[in-house]
Each structure stands twice: as C-alpha cells, then as structure tokens.
Amino acid sequence: MSVKQVAILGSTGSIGVNTLDVIRAHPERFKVVALTAAKQIERLAEQCVEFKPSIAVVADADGAAKLNRLLQEKKIVTQVLYGPQALVSAVTESGCDTVMAAIVGAAGLVPALAAAQAGKRVLLANKEALVMSGNLFMQAMKAGGGELLPIDSEHNAIFQCLPDRFTKNPSDHLGVEELWLTASGGPFRDKSISDLAGITPEQACAHPNWVMGRKISVDSATMMNKGLEVIEAFWLFGLPLEKIKVLIHPQSVVHSMVRYRDGSVLAQMGQPDMRTPIAYGLAWPERIDAGVAPLNLTQLTGLSFTEPKLTQFPCLSLAFAAAKAGGTAPAVLNAANEVAVAAFLDDGLPYLSIPNVVEHCLNALSPVAADSLETILEADALARQTANQFIHTIQK
Ligand code: NAD
Ligand code: MG
C-alpha cells in the first residue's frame, strides 16, 4: 500500500482538526506534507511538531516569525511560508497527492482550484469555492484528471448512494430522479422569524447536532448553509435545480438521500461526526476506521422529515434565486453572506439583517457569465464593497 501524501488547507479549523484525528490513527496510510492556518499559530505549531510537514503556511509575516520561533525551539524542520500565494505553494510544492480543502469561505477558492488543476485527489469541504466558481472548478478537475470527493456530509452521503457509473452526463444518470439534501434546521428551526430579533452570536452558533466553525454555524441557523449546499450539489452531480430538494430532518441521522426511478430511495446514515465523510474521502474506495461510534438505531426515538418554510428562512430562498440567476450571482450571494455573517459575529449587525444585506447585493449587482477566475473574484470584491456600504448605512 502506498502512503498518501496529504496537504491540509485550514488545518486548525474544525474540519482540519478532524482530518488530523483520522490521519493520526492511520500512520501506515497517510503522511502529512503541508499544513496551513490563518491565525492560530500555537495550534499550528503543535500540529507541526506532531506531524512534521515539509511546508506550513500562515497568513502574514508576523505569524510566520512566531511559527518559526516556536518550531526552532522544538528543532522541527518545516519550511514556513505566508500569504495567499503560499497556500498555492502548499498544494503545488509539497509533493502532496491529496488535498483537504478546508479553509472557510472565498479565501479557499484559489488554492482549491490549484489542487484541481494539478490533478490531486481533492477532498472538498470548502463549499464556498464551488458555489463561487462551480463551472470553472469542475472543468479544472476534469482537465487536471484528479479525483473529487465531497466532504460536506450531505454530498458525501449522496456520493455514497449514487450508482458507480453515474456521471454528470444525463445519459449516465442510471435511473436517478432526485437528490434529497437533509438539514437539521439549526437552533431556530421551531421559532418563527419574529422570535429572532435579539439573537446573539452565541445563540446562533449553538448548533443542536454538529460542532463546527462559527461561520458555518451561523449559516446553519439561517439555512444559508443549505442554500449553498443546493448550489454545491448542482455542480457536483449535474442534476437540474428542480431535482435537488431540501428536507428538514432534526435528528441528523440520515445525511442525505437519492431517489430512483423504480421507487427506491437510498439513504446514508451515521452519527453526526465529520470524521466519517473525511475518512471516506481519504481512503476511498476503501473504508477505514474513522474513530466514530457505531450508530445504534434502537436508541433513536424516531426520524422525521418536513419541507422547510421559505418565509422562516429567507436566506434559503435567496440562495435558490441566486442559483436560478446563475453566472456570478452565487459568488455575489456568497460574498455578501460572508460579510454579513462576519458583521453579525463581530460588529453587532442584527441577526435578522443578514438576509437583507444579501438581498441588497443580489438586487444591486446584475450577474454576468462566470467564465474566468478574474470575473468571479471581481464579483466577489464588488459584492463585499456593496455589502459593507449597506451595513454602514443600516448601522448609522
Ligand atoms: P473553521 O472556522 O473551524 O476553520 C477554518 C480554517 O480556515 C482555519 O484553519 C483557519 O485558520 C483557516 N482560514 C480562515 N480564513 C482564512 C484565510 N483568509 N486564509 C487562510 N486560511 C484561513 O471552519 P470549519 O468549520 O472547519 O469549515 C471549513 C470549511 O468546511 C467551510 O467551508 C465549511 O463550510 C466546510 N464544512 C465544515 C463542516 C464542519 O462540520 N465544520 C461541515 C461541512 C462543511
Ligand atoms: Mg453540510
């Protein structure tokens, strides 16, 4: 068995730490060759001491100096680089064959695309990259000739439930009729929108079933996360938007389903633990121990599925609208949402203003064809500027 050489983009985050947890249990299968993080330098230093990558990347020169100091103390020989371009070097110059793309948000797009172009096995957690650049990203994967394995639990579930020879080409859909993405509904699934006026970041981040980074936790509360995931599923699997459905499933046991023409519905079930899809992506097509407790069906009190109410989750309908509009609209949606969520988490923007910011940007910026990285990054930058201006006016 050859040892997989793994680069982890975003190693200090929730997905990054879970990835290292799986890798730690299988040293005969995986070697970590690159780790990257934005700010948590001490945590990254500890990871470098344990996994001894050849490259570590941080956001800026101060972080790099600090990391170098910490690694010298421990006599660890790891090349320390910094800045956005160095994230690409972590992919192209570390000798990796497998890349875990787990940076949160648009910041992860360029290195994820580099991994696609370079023909790596791409374990895609960074859904925002695909939302922004779906067509470009899928083309880059094809040209690079690597393997794309979805890590988002819903898409990983669907990947597991699709027929082996399924491709994005409709003639190879092999009886697949619909994809059903499940959603927990987040911490506010039983509240009406009028109850949510004074919601704090702590309340929004207290997800009932999953432990995740703060941005995706807020996205789960607003259900923007599910909207982004519908767009992600569209690009990954190539079914028309109207065949991608969302179901609220509060127990988070069924991670998603595929409905077939003959009446069969295949579901993937498991604990709400990201180490399952991570282990699946790392070892595919083999299955390895993920360190996850077995699912005990007799302990479940029931499984329920309902349709989400769009009036309760305006971010979900905005995502559907952006998906339908196409072109750069999903990139605008994503950028406006990132700015609004950050303002909610750090600058007192009211929770209920998040969809207003996104809607304002979608109305203000007409979509154009998303046919180059430059166009997509331009749309992203303009949406951030527009969102910031709008937030400024509503906070005055
Ligand atoms: P997180 O906030 O816990 O971690 C984010 C990581 O990205 C950190 O290592 C951070 O240092 C790095 N990072 C942040 N901004 C950066 C920047 N500007 N430049 C370089 N690095 C930067 O996030 P997470 O919960 O691990 O989520 C990561 C991605 O995986 C997101 O796209 C999220 O939607 C997706 N995802 C996460 C989960 C989950 O359970 N956490 C599930 C499905 C999908
Ligand atoms: Mg998900």
Q: Which ligand is nearest to the CA of 39?
A: 1
Distance of CA 5 to the CA centre of its chain: 22
Report the nearest atom of ligand 1 relative to the CA of 10.
Answer: 9
pLDDT of residue 395: 84
For 330-359, the pLDDT digits (tens) are 999 999 999 999 999 998 999 999 999 999
pLDDT of residue 81: 98
For the record, the structure tokens of 234 come out as 């569209």
128, 216, 341, 346: which to mutate for ligand 1, most atoms within 8 A of CB? 216
Average pLDDT estimate for 60-82: 98
pLDDT of residue 208: 84
pLDDT of residue 292: 98
Average pLDDT estimate for 36-40: 96
Average pLDDT estimate for 261-266: 98
Rounded CA separation 84/103 (Å): 12
pLDDT of residue 134: 97
For 166-207, the pLDDT digits (tens) are 998 888 999 999 999 999 999 999 999 889 999 999 999 998
pLDDT of residue 182: 98
pLDDT of residue 207: 84
Residue 210 has pLDDT above 90, yes or no: no
Confidence (pTM): 0.98
Average pLDDT over the chain reads: 97
For 285-325, the pLDDT digits (tens) are 999 999 999 999 999 989 999 999 999 999 999 999 999 99
Q: Which ligand is nearest to the CA of 273?
A: 1
pLDDT of residue 1: 77
Regarding predicted confidence, which is higher, 379 or 394? 379
C-alpha 165 to ligand 1 mean position (Å): 31
Average pLDDT estimate for 244-253: 97
Rounded CA separation 361/369 (Å): 17
Sign, CA torsion 235/239/241/247 = negative
Tokens 């957690």 — which residue?
125
Residue 237 has pLDDT above 90, yes or no: yes
Of 377, 382, 378, 340, the residue nearest 365 (C-alpha): 382
Average pLDDT estimate for 149-160: 98
pLDDT bucket at 396, cuts 50 / 70 / 90:
confident
8, 9, 14: which to mutate for ligand 1, most atoms within 8 A of CB? 14
pLDDT of residue 21: 98
For 5-21, the pLDDT digits (tens) are 999 999 999 999 999 99
Report the nearest atom of ligand 1 relative to the CA of 152.
Answer: 43
Report the nearest atom of ligand 1 relative to the CA of 87.
Answer: 20
212, 222, 225, 384: which to mutate for ligand 1, most atoms within 8 A of CB? 212
